Structure 1
Amino acid sequence: MILPEHKNLPVHLLASCFNSTVASYKFYWFLSLIDQVETGKTVISKQDLFAGMVANAWYTVNYFKVSFGVLDKLQEAVHEIRTHENLTIDCDRRMVFTRLSDSADPLIKRKLRYFNGEVPHRFLSPWLRASDKNHVYAASRDLNNQCLYGLYNDHIEVNPDWFNYLREHAGILRKFCYWTLALFLQSKNPNVPDIPNKLIKSPVRKSLNEQRKFWDIVLGELGSVDCIYTGKKLIIGDYAVEHFLPYAFVSHDLMWNLIPADRSFNSSKSDKLPPLDKYFGPFFDLQQNALNIVKAKAPKNKLLEDYLTIIPDLSLFERQRVFDQINPIATIAINNGFEYLRS
């Protein structure tokens, strides 16, 4: 992905800010900077920028549980701030930002101020390669350096020449940052699916109406099925379409992972993983029955293709084969911090 050129600005230096990145800080610092520039600010407090870093990382860390690496302090700060402020894992980004940017809480200010040690001046290394932090602060204020911003104790001042570029191309710059961030996080989470779609909170989750119609075919044939979790009889019109492995990890709505479940239980299950030793058998039996019924009743149903993503030949949809596909996914999810459902 290439950034828009500018005849008077060293855009290549901006692009190189993310080269050889070993932590997430620069990505989220830049995203926070773009957020503030879009509001028209040229003088931006560091607390606002650090609050924006936490707010932009919030959903990725808390809801999707993507790892930033064991030494990453931004991930640690997000976890500690969520507990301290008693905020939900899917809290709105703007709410998180407002709570933190206005906070006078000593713990919050200390957690945010941690990033002042390296992030603001290290981001300018393509322009100012001096290792002396004080020198970088002083030199950044000289507009002849064409530096992105000038550094001060409690704020930054965006270079007027760069301000117009950043504001005009904010959308492209944000996409560029997310693209490089996705590459970085994928290297930290090589077995985690769909990293690019775990960087922001989608405004609206997709409807599962088509998947419900699939299960209605099954229920229409059988009359009812038992919820694998509660044993409740489920009938057409009285069930939830439930992700067996949590959506927050798999990040998709493929049929092989969707089953009907007790509505009240589905709400309480949240993003917990069902222990496979207890629930895989009933899950597989339900899926196998569904597959056979829909193949017979509606063989052209496009959702049958979803099963091909784990078993390339539907005639081979067998218990051990399916378990061998699902078990590693569940193991990776547990290793990334998802919790088992408690009986």
Structure 2
Amino acid sequence: MQLDMNRQEAIWLERMLERSNMVTSYKAYWMIGVLEEIIEGHDVIDFDKVVSRMITNSWYPIIQYKLNFGFQDQLGKVIYYINDTYHYGAEIKKTNLLNLLCFSSELLGDTTLQNMKKAFYNMAPYRLLSPFFREKTKGLKDQKKNRLITQLSQDSQDCFYKIDEPNKMIIVNPHWMDYINENQVVIKGWLQNKLIIYLQVKNPSVPSIPFKLEPPSSRNLTKATNYWKRFNMVEPIKDIYTGKPLTSEYYEELGAFSIDHFIPWSFVLHDELWNLMPTFKHINSSKSDKLPLLDKYLMEFCDLQYRAINYMKQSTSNQKILEDYLTIGGSDTTASIIKKGSYVDQVIFTESIKSALMPIYQIAYNQGFEVWEH
């Protein structure tokens, strides 16, 4: 979204998050934290509350999607420390995590965590205001610059907020309160775009960055479940991870029929059939968002996919379901993929599946996704 550049506040927002000055993500996440506090009606805001919001807002992109925030970025370090120590995982809700960070006696008593949070106090509140006082602070070292920005913010009516250094708080200027409340939807969209651009630079080969800033609202695997159950009825499938048939006699031991993303959903962020297959629920939970060991499972996966698509091409009246396979490339044309009655060449199909999977597998591995085998 675009800001209305006829407003002076919009001009200052752009200056505060100039791309050339966004070496790390903390300015954007500090601004998001302040914005959320303002929308909740607060004009006097603790440093610690904003830092806690910085952590909660960047938690999901880092823990679930393993996005790289850059070597110098400190948010990833504090988030991995919290997760490694307290094991909250990607499933924790933002509101719950925020409450824990602000009120949990265990976390408040964690000296390492509190020191990591306080490290943001020394930079974020001041650096966001730097554009308002650029000429007067030019060439100063950090501590002197912070002191001068604090002093100048007291008398400025233009700057975003005043800094109350002794109490570690900011006080939002009234006209900024009004501006943000009146334009919060546009400002949120503008901020999200700033983060997307930043993260795309840091993660150049990772797909679907715009959709990895927040948890998904919902997912639907009904089409894939129906597809694989139908195939399993006529040609019983062996689970490639356990070698056991996907039949009811094994459900009590290994869990019910379940759909697995061969390359984890948290990396590809889609539910296309060529990356899906059936397995047992307990096995799926064990694999979670890990990468399957290719040497052990890839060829069995390709063979299962090949047998399924050939059966469905012969039998289904709804050829549209097969259109997911068009995105894997290869020499099969649109017409041949959806045309009932024709067979897919196994060598071409297998190479197409491998060509689609291998590059994204390697990128996911480089991004930090762990390898798994049963």
- Superposition TM-score, scaled by structure 1 size: 0.93
Alpha-carbon distance, 1:139 to partner = 0.9
* Secondary structure of residue in 2 paired with 1:256: helix
Q: Distance in 2 between matches of 1:219 and 1:123?
A: 58
User: C-alpha separation between the residues in 2 aligned to 1:303 and 1:35?
Assistant: 42
CA separation in 2, counterparts of 1:321 and 1:210?
22
Which of these residues, 284, 289, 295, is aligned with residue 313 of structure 2? Answer: 295
Determine the C-alpha separation between the residues in 2 that align with 1:17 and 1:303: 48
Whether 1:228 aligns to 2:233 is: no
Other structure's SS at 1:240 match:
strand
Report what 2:53 is aligned to.
Answer: 52
* CA distance, structure 2, for counterparts of residue 101 and residue 29 of structure 1: 16
- The answer to whether the aligner puts 1:203 opposite 2:234 as a matched pair is no
**Corresponding residue SS for 1:151:** strand
Q: Which residue of 2 aligns with 1:119?
A: 124
Shift, 1:169, TM fit:
2.0
Instruction: Count how many residue pairs are aligned between Structure 1 and Structure 2.
Output: 339
Structure 2 Cα separation of the partners of residues 76 and 186 of structure 1? 20
- What is the aligned partner in structure 2 of residue 325 from structure 1? 356
Offset at 1:73? 0.8
1:193 is aligned, of 193, 196, 207, to: 207
Question: 1:235, CA displacement in angstroms?
Answer: 4.4
Counterparts of 1:165-184 in structure 2 under 5 Å?
A: 165-184=179-198
User: Where in structure 2 are the equivalents of 1:30-109 lying within 5 Å?
Assistant: 30-102=31-103, 103-105=107-109, 106-109=111-114
1:255 matched to 2:273? The reply is yes
* Corresponding residue for residue 266 of structure 1: 284
Q: Does 1:279 align with 2:266?
A: no
* Contact kept in structure 2, 1:4 and 1:169, CA below 8 Å: no
Compare 279-288 and 85-94 and name the one that shifted more: 85-94
In structure 1, give the amino acid aligned to 2:355: D
Post-superposition Cα deviations, 1:227-263, rounded to whole Å, max 9, x if no partner, equal 0001121149951011111111111111111101112
Checking the alignment, whether the CA contact within 8 Å between 2:83 and 2:89 is kept in structure 1 is yes
1:10 corresponding residue in structure 2: 9
Q: CA deviation at 1:325?
A: 2.3
Deviates more, 1:166-175 or 1:148-157: 166-175
Deviates more, 1:84-93 or 1:161-170: 84-93
Partner Cα separation in structure 2 for residue 239 and residue 75 of structure 1:
36
Instruction: Give matches, 1:311-322, under 5 Å.
Output: 311=329, 313=332, 314=337, 315=344, 317-322=348-353
Of the candidates 145, 156, 169, which is equivalent to residue 170 of structure 2?
A: 156
Counterpart contact for 2:9–2:179, Cα < 8 Å:
no
Matched, 1:141 2:159: no
Deviates more, 1:206-215 or 1:276-285: 206-215
Amino acid at match of 2:122: G
CA distance in 1, matches of 2:97, 2:127: 25
Kept in 2: contact 1:272–1:338 (CA 8 A): yes
SS in 2 for 1:13: helix
8 A Cα contact 2:154 2:163, kept in partner = yes
Using the TM superposition, give the Cα deviation of residue 283 of structure 1 relative to its aligned residue in structure 2, in angstroms.
Answer: 0.3
Secondary structure at 2:271's aligned position in 1? Answer: coil
Mapped to 2, the partners of 1:342 and 1:280 lie a distance apart of 12
Runs of 4+ in structure 1 deviating by more than 4 angstroms, as ranges, are 235-238, 314-317
Specify the SS of the correspondent of 1:318.
helix
Q: Deviations over 1:85-135 (max 9, x none)?
A: 332233111111111123532222211111112111111122221242211
Distance 2:221 2:148 in 1: 57
Alignment check: 8 A CA contact 2:161 2:172 kept: yes
Letter of the aligned partner of 2:96 in structure 1? M
Distance in 1, matches of 2:277 and 2:34, equals 43
Larger radius of gyration: 2
Number of the residue aligned with 2:341? none
C-alpha distance in 2 between matches for 1:72 and 1:228: 40
- Whichever residue aligns with residue 291 of structure 2, its letter is L
Shift of 1:311: 1.8
Once the two structures are overlaid, the 10-residue window that deviates more, 297-306 or 185-194, is: 297-306
Cα RMSD after superposing both structures = 1.8
Give distance in 1, aligned partners of 2:6 and 2:175: 10
Distance 1:305 1:184 in 2: 34
- The percentage of aligned residue pairs carrying the same residue is 32
Amino acid at match of 1:139: L
Q: Which amino acid aligns with 2:350?
A: R
